[in-house]
Amino acid sequence: MTDDVLARKEGRAGRITMNRPKALNALTHDMVLVIERALEDWHDDPEVQLVLMDSVGDRAFCAGGDIADIYQRGRTGDFSFARDFWADEFRLNAAIGRYPKPVVALMKGYVLGGGVGLTGHASHRIVGESSRVAMPECAIGYVPDVGGTHLLGRAPGRLGEYLGLTGWRMGAADAILAGFADTFVPEALWPDLAARLIESGDAAVIADFAAEPPAGELAGRRDDIDDAFSAPDLATLVARLEASDWGHETLTALRKLSPLSMAATMELVRAARREPGLELALARELRAGVRIFESGDMMEGVRAQVIDKDRSPQWADTIDSVTPAQVAALMESLGPNELKLPQA
């Protein structure tokens, strides 16, 4: 048991509160298990008519998985810890996506990586003025996971490739446009909204609080993004950005990221379009995630961004050297370690 996440019944709601504000509510393995257990307990509980997920602190709902422990285990050659953590986390993501009762997520502040896994598959996803939603995994030599490629694959046009590769942080309007959120509610109203949800057990009350979000940025950039990020591979994407009158800042950002991660992300997003479904996406993400961790790029990315913080990762590949065969190898079956999900 951990106090890093609080799970309890209040009124007609089961309430899950992220409670590690000093760590931006980063998600640990223990937290995953507590949330999973609470959802199982409330599944058939007639007193719980909806689930409400929120957070302590103003900066983040959840800024991702707690990767420092994964890194330290990986340094000793122990890759099974990460694989088991991700398998349990992905099982939770699938459970949220198929949950039979409304799941309402209040997405305050940073909602990154693992935070998207908790909120993105909820039935009612609420954003406010502070919301910043992103899948920034390519910066640490990893790939979008927790069902993120399922969401990216459903985003309009080529926003999925753009968001997955760049890790662009979406405000409220952009998160709604891209399909990572549903409704904007001014954060000053969130306490009243939570009280109504707990009292009524009825997610329909959200409509009483909904408002128009502040204008976003992605809608006005759709044509340019679609033109560039429909490229068949990284090299072509780079050429299109170089030839554009808008993409040089984007290209500068991409050159800092793991080329293998970007190539794998491009394939994962497109695979999610070809074969849609959250559970299929999770299975692909586990394969790619485990293998890219073992390849060394994630270890180097976490070292550079989180541990040493020198922001100078030395990637194993370049944008020009990554091959389709490397990407295909990441997607191969894990055999006995394939993701196993309960039958619906």
Tokens of 25: 């509510």
Residue 300, amino acid: E
- Distance between CA atoms of residues 207 and 202, nearest Å: 11
- Selecting among 114, 115, 117, 120, the annotated active-site residue is 114
Three-state DSSP state, 311: coil
- Strand, helix or coil at 173? helix
> Which of 4, 54, 89, 137 does the annotation list as catalytic?
137
Q: Please tell me what DSSP assigns to residue 57.
A: S
User: What are the backbone angles phi and psi of residue 123, rounded to the nearest 5°?
Assistant: -80, -25
| Nearest-5° Cα angle at 124, 48 to 17 | 60
CB 57 within 8 A of CB 28: no
Cα torsion through 315, 318, 319, 321, rounded to 10:
-130
Per DSSP, the three-state class of 148 is helix
Q: Catalytic: 114?
A: yes
Q: Please confirm, yes or no, whether 335 is among the known catalytic residues.
A: no
- 145 as an active site residue: the answer is yes
Catalytic position from the list 145, 161, 174, 317: 145
Is 41 known to be catalytic? no
| Residue in 65, 115, 147, 160 annotated catalytic | 65
Catalytically active residues are 65, 114, 137, 145
